[in-house]
Amino acid sequence: MATTYFPDTCRVGAISVEELIVRLRRSFADSYRLEAELRGGSMSRLFRAIDLTDNREIVIKVLPPELTSDVMAARFRRETRVTSRLRHPNILTVLTTGVQDGLMYYVMPFISGESLRERIAREGQLPIDDSIRILRDISSALSYAHEEGVIHRDVKPENILLQDGHAVHAILADFGIAAALTLPGETAHTRITRTGMTLGTVGYMAPEQSFGDAVDYRADIYALGVVGHEMLAGSPPFAGATTQAIIAANLTQPPPRLEYFRGDVPPNVARAIERALSKFPDERFQSARLFSEACLRP
């Protein structure tokens, strides 16, 4: 997770980053010492900080101030309370959450490394063995979470961290945050319009999620299929110039076959990703564990 400051002109809603940092330092003065802003927060902001209680590095993720309302804060507390109990080596633990000084936030351990998004941006197509290992790590995280009754709802490269010091060790972050920020009856389009989320998120949503239908664990399997395709092909299976174009492609077009992009993808892995990307939940793998097993090298 590389450390960098954002430009001074960057703003979060109606608050500049400088103003936000001053506000956070005042709010958390007794608990945390803010060190620097981190890259990769998308619509939210990430800050590396020191936990003053035990002098360890942590990350504070602050959600957009314009989302903070009594209804949203209550939903945020409820969802994060459920997901904070998850304990798995491939899931980033949520240490604490709260609403303070008008800001919704949660605190996580600091992971030294980078996001999968950063690695794809740097390398394009990833090595086969690394891609399979990442798919299996994240499948393991999802399998555990689904057994605990928790759906991620926002699996994408930005939410997958690759830890330093390991050949490949992938960690899934932001469990339950999508649910916490989605109001009943919202579709993908209305949620994006309200929150200003990046277009990339749209391309990872299962068709039923885009329609605003009830979503179960198979939406996570679909999203992981999109991630698998992107790691191996170097680009996501569905693209477009606008939100509507991406959603339309996702709903109507079959994913391009991985063999068209590179010839070294094992056939079983290509077929597994193709099955995970089925438009119909009943045609996908019915568990993340089955998806993981199908991705094993023959």
Numbered ranges of CATH 1.10.510.10 in the chain: 114-294
Question: Would you say 189 and 250 are in contact if contact means Cβ atoms under 8 Å apart?
Answer: no
pLDDT at 208: 86
Beta strands in 168-289 (DSSP E): 170-172
- Tokens 């990833």: give the residue: 126
Q: Which CATH architecture has domain 11-109?
A: 2-Layer Sandwich (3.30)
Residues 154 and 172 sit within 8 Å (Cβ to Cβ): no
88 CB neighbour count, 10 Å cutoff: 17
Topology classification of domain 114-294: Transferase(Phosphotransferase); domain 1 (1.10.510)
List, by residue range, all CATH 3.30.200.20 domains of the chain.
11-109
Q: Tens-digit pLDDT profile for the chain (298 aa)?
A: 333 322 223 344 456 667 777 888 888 888 899 888 887 555 677 889 999 998 999 998 887 766 666 666 676 777 677 777 888 999 988 888 877 777 788 888 998 888 999 999 999 999 999 999 999 999 999 999 999 888 888 899 999 999 876 668 999 988 766 555 555 555 444 444 444 343 337 889 898 887 777 788 999 999 999 999 999 999 999 988 888 888 888 888 899 999 999 999 999 999 999 999 999 999 999 999 999 999 986 6
**Active site residue ranges:** 154
Per-residue confidence (pLDDT) for residue 196, from 0 to 100? 39
Residue-level pLDDT at 68: 63
pTM to 2 decimal places: 0.82
* Separation of alpha carbons 179 and 297, rounded Å: 34
- φ, ψ for residue 158, nearest 5 deg: -65, -25
From the list 209, 272, 201, the residue with the least C-alpha distance to 238 is 201
Answer for the pair 15, 66: CB distance below 8 angstroms, yes or no. Answer: no
pLDDT of residue 289: 96
Q: Rounded to an integer, what distance in angstroms lies between the CA atom of residue 294 and that of residue 296? A: 6
The pLDDT of residue 9: 30
pLDDT of residue 22: 81
Q: Residue 30: what pLDDT?
A: 87
Q: Please, are residues 150 and 288 in contact by the beta-carbon 8 Å criterion?
A: no
Q: Is-contact 68 125, C-beta < 8 A?
A: no
Tell me, what's the pLDDT at 93? 85
Report pLDDT for 11.
Answer: 41
